[in-house]
Amino acid sequence: MRIDIVSLFPEFVDQCAAFGVVGRARERGLLSLHGWNPRDHAEGNYRKVDDRTFGGGPGMVMLVEPLRRCLAAMRGADPVRPRVVYLSPQGRRLDQAKARELAALPRLALLCGRYEGIDERLVQAEVDEELSIGDYVLSGGELAAAVVVDAVARLQDGVLNDAGSAEQDSFEDGLLDCPHYSHPVEHAYGTVPEVLRSGNHAAIARWRRQQALGRTWLRRPDLLEGRILSKADQKLLDDWRQEHAGDAPDGFRGR
């Protein structure tokens, strides 16, 4: 997969994607990143990329022309048409389903704003979709772009050593992940649950599912709202809740 980063600081995203799983994906040739700086397409001695906002108010807005030329150069660098995603707090919230959708594309372009954002005409003309990584404001889209690159890179075929591990992630089936343990079995901080050491794969799967359901109910009840659980899942959750009576999440009415 090819990802193009359009940013005043493309090296920032490049550095974020240099380590661990994403770095390995790039080394293996499963992912390529290409940075594009609108300042390289700005004119004049100052290579101006921003100006004051019409209508008054604080902050600067990124200009149409340097970005338009930068995007044209970016689009022309490869015959595959990219999906152009603008990172902004006004976008739809990124989730695992969206990460999967983006990961399946051959080419993705991530457009990062700075200052108060980008002139809306450029957004209307060039952007396919706006994405936010959460309800808070960052000083630029670069960190958000790095988040998208990471979420998308680890879903590329051949990136994770254990092919099943992406499927077992939190959110893949709309639930939080279960807890995980490793050596030693006994530690001053506690003991690894017996069932995980039993070798009984059906019992382990049941325990993990129950933990995932229970944690989701406790920590992110919004993920369960409106969801019809299977009989087996409902029983697992009911049993978990009985065991954890008193752990009810704030403001959640129970089901």
Binding site annotation covers 133?
yes
Site string for ligand ADE, 182-221 (x = CB under 6 A): ----------------------------------------
Contact call for residue 89 and ligand ADE (CB under 6 A): yes
Binding site annotation covers 251?
no
Per the annotation, the verdict on 169 as an active-site residue is yes
Per the annotation, the verdict on 154 as an active-site residue is yes
Per the annotation, the verdict on 116 as an active-site residue is yes
Contact call for residue 141 and ligand ADE (CB under 6 A): yes
User: Do 87 and 110 form a contact (C-beta atoms < 8 A)?
Assistant: yes
Closest separation in Å from C-beta 145 to ligand ADE = 8
Contact call for residue 138 and ligand ADE (CB under 6 A): yes
Contact call for residue 87 and ligand ADE (CB under 6 A): yes
Check the CA dihedral 135-141-143-149 and report its sign. Answer: positive
Query: How many residues make contact with ligand ADE (CB under 6 A)?
Result: 11
Among 134, 158, 179, 249, binds ligand ADE (CB under 6 A): 134
Binding site annotation covers 13?
no
Binding-site residues for S-adenosyl-L-methionine, please?
A: 113, 133-138
Contacting residues toward ligand ADE, per CB under 6 A: 87-89, 132-134, 136-138, 141, 144
